[in-house]
Structure 1
């Protein structure tokens, strides 16, 4: 294999796929990045167990010249750092039959030991005849709007994922860690995606993909098949294994009626929560009191440190007064994910789940379990 390529272009590709790298890989071949030059162009692939990231540079790119086709796996750590420190002009990258890699840029020449590309996991051949397509900006909002609620514990692996539930001509995205829940509903035109009504996508993989969606005007195609999901946008493709197991039914968590409903300005409520949570300590407990039909009081305290109280104006209030405790950090995550100006908190007693409903969207819903706490 032998190519010439602009250093910024190669480094951009390396940065994209390096998000799939893991220091805990036990399979030696996954410590490298697969480089393949063929008639279609140059492809870079990196991965870990259950995840592959693939970046393609087409052959018609003026900053790429393929002089000899071939493939090689190059140790990722050295490959990335070498390319990063080479001058911004053109560099050459080649390999021979003895799996030796030569990287030359400026006056520097590097020789590395490569690995056999045939041992590297293959990107699956994907049938894109049945896909979901989303503008990147919309998909980013969907992912960011629910993924914060995934569990960080491996005790229930399915809760580390985002459930994608097919319902008629729509898909519901749900994440929960058992204390809070986030869900969003998006319409789709094509529902012939998979035989499974529910799939569970690793939440961390979705979060990483969202961070790479820099071009919000572009589109991402999503294809689900054979216990796997493929997300493709522009030059970037992510292939992820789905999580196995039964996702808990969350439909019954929302009560049919509520004893109290309050409407708050989203930004005012969020800023007040952030200030009050500064003294919540390790427990993160914040108390909400309805003190009139016009104001709520947020408070927290930490023994031997101090306490804080702040009043927040309400836009509207219906029902009975209530005092309720919740995890302030979790509520901040929820309100931060709301992308409208007003939020409604629906309560049904101090022990029932708190429903957070964005006022201008019936397609988003958030739930947080209150804390049993005594002053």
Structure 2
């Protein structure tokens, strides 16, 4: 039996509910596991390949464990019930025959629970702490690469994010075969530790980053056998790793460029948003360098119309040219940059477009151009 604040429990269930699939082929995973003991209350939810856990410590004065025990409760009903209960204290009691009673105020619910015997658990003993990342930096890093993962299962490794430790820094890389996002962040590794290159499912990383509300804290990252574990404050996520080798990306960027320019990030972002409105189904946007001070973005849709917008160039080196690209892909890149200026580097209209924040050499974005008749 436990007693807990409705507000706190509702917050935890909101964070965990996204990990539960109502149509899971494994019936036990449609439920959420509650485990209460002398250390506090732990909620676990997940699906094949990923588990999320939220811990209420015993010293929390809004959580009281009256009697230890474990039970699995249908997640959808548990979440809906707790959300609609009145503010105050919620009591949850389970019996040996897996019946669950949830009460608060004048409301009493009786649910059929499930045994925890077949519910998977986070294998903490198999993991060893390898490194720590500040939450704010980790959240930003994941956001700046995860948008580029592939949504196609044709090449499963591209649905993940490559993670490599290089000397005293971590590199995350994501690519769908048309665009690439790479980000480097300095680290302090634990003495004598090793961290082999791994591929983490992109969706799992994105889901975890959305839970990093305490940006002043840090996340401990550790490896197990075919799994990776992220732990911060009350939240833990264990994710399976993708099998296979991530394609080499070290030589995708040209060593020399024929055109290099610098533009205002926000001017470029908003111009891309406006021009993309008429980019059509193929999202094609044409970039033309008109002079040393101006470039134009153009898009058109047959039988609808066209749009052209000029953007000031703050610095230009090299030849003038025109090149086309997927406007949505470029919007995704520019949209995650938190700097005032952006460098765009070109080597002809058929070679990759290189985009980098002007104030960071640790970020690299590549977009494959679109070949048009113009």
Question: What's the TM-score, normalizing by structure 2?
Answer: 0.97
Moved over 6 A (4+): none
1:44 matched residue in structure 2? 43
CA 1:204–1:29: 2 relative to 1, 3 Å: same
User: C-alpha displacement at 1:16, in angstroms?
Assistant: 1.7
1:134 matched residue in structure 2? 133
CA contact (8 A) 1:130 1:190 kept: no
Instruction: Note if 1:14 corresponds to 2:13.
Output: yes
User: C-alpha displacement at 1:128, in angstroms?
Assistant: 6.8
1: CA distance, partners of 2:56 / 2:202: 28
User: C-alpha displacement at 1:218, in angstroms?
Assistant: 1.5
User: C-alpha displacement at 1:186, in angstroms?
Assistant: 1.4
1:287 matched residue in structure 2? 286
1: CA distance, partners of 2:95 / 2:193: 43
1:5 matched residue in structure 2? 4
1:70 matched residue in structure 2? 69
CA contact (8 A) 1:194 1:224 kept: no
1:276 matched residue in structure 2? 275
1: CA distance, partners of 2:128 / 2:176: 34
2: CA distance, partners of 1:128 / 1:217: 24
Contiguous gaps of at least 5 residues in structure 2: none
1:74-116 CA-partner distances (Å, limit 9, x unpaired) = 0011111011111111111010000101101111111111000
2:362 matched residue in structure 1? 363
2:254 matched residue in structure 1? 255
1:200 matched residue in structure 2? 199
2: CA distance, partners of 1:248 / 1:220: 27
Instruction: Note if 1:175 corresponds to 2:174.
Output: yes
2:146 matched residue in structure 1? 147
User: C-alpha displacement at 1:225, in angstroms?
Assistant: 2.1
CA contact (8 A) 1:175 1:183 kept: yes
1:236 matched residue in structure 2? 235
User: C-alpha displacement at 1:233, in angstroms?
Assistant: 1.0
2: CA distance, partners of 1:64 / 1:169: 41
CA contact (8 A) 1:150 1:159 kept: yes
1:114-129 to 2 correspondences below 5 Å? 114-126=113-125
2: CA distance, partners of 1:36 / 1:46: 12
| Residue range with higher mean Cα deviation, 165-174 or 265-274 | 165-174
User: C-alpha displacement at 1:19, in angstroms?
Assistant: 2.1
1: CA distance, partners of 2:167 / 2:210: 30
CA contact (8 A) 1:126 1:223 kept: no
Q: Secondary structure at the match of 2:129?
A: coil
CA contact (8 A) 1:135 1:217 kept: yes
User: C-alpha displacement at 1:213, in angstroms?
Assistant: 1.1
1:329-372 CA-partner distances (Å, limit 9, x unpaired) = 00000011112111111100000000001111100000000001
User: C-alpha displacement at 1:194, in angstroms?
Assistant: 4.3
Q: Secondary structure at the match of 2:21?
A: coil
2:336 matched residue in structure 1? 337
2:183 matched residue in structure 1? 184
1:90 matched residue in structure 2? 89
Instruction: Note if 1:157 corresponds to 2:156.
Output: yes
2: CA distance, partners of 1:250 / 1:24: 37
Contiguous gaps of at least 5 residues in structure 1: none
**CA root-mean-square deviation:** 1.2
Instruction: Note if 1:80 corresponds to 2:79.
Output: yes
User: C-alpha displacement at 1:24, in angstroms?
Assistant: 3.7
1:220-243 CA-partner distances (Å, limit 9, x unpaired) = 111122111111111010110011
1: CA distance, partners of 2:224 / 2:193: 8
CA 1:300–1:241: 2 relative to 1, 3 Å: same
1:327 matched residue in structure 2? 326
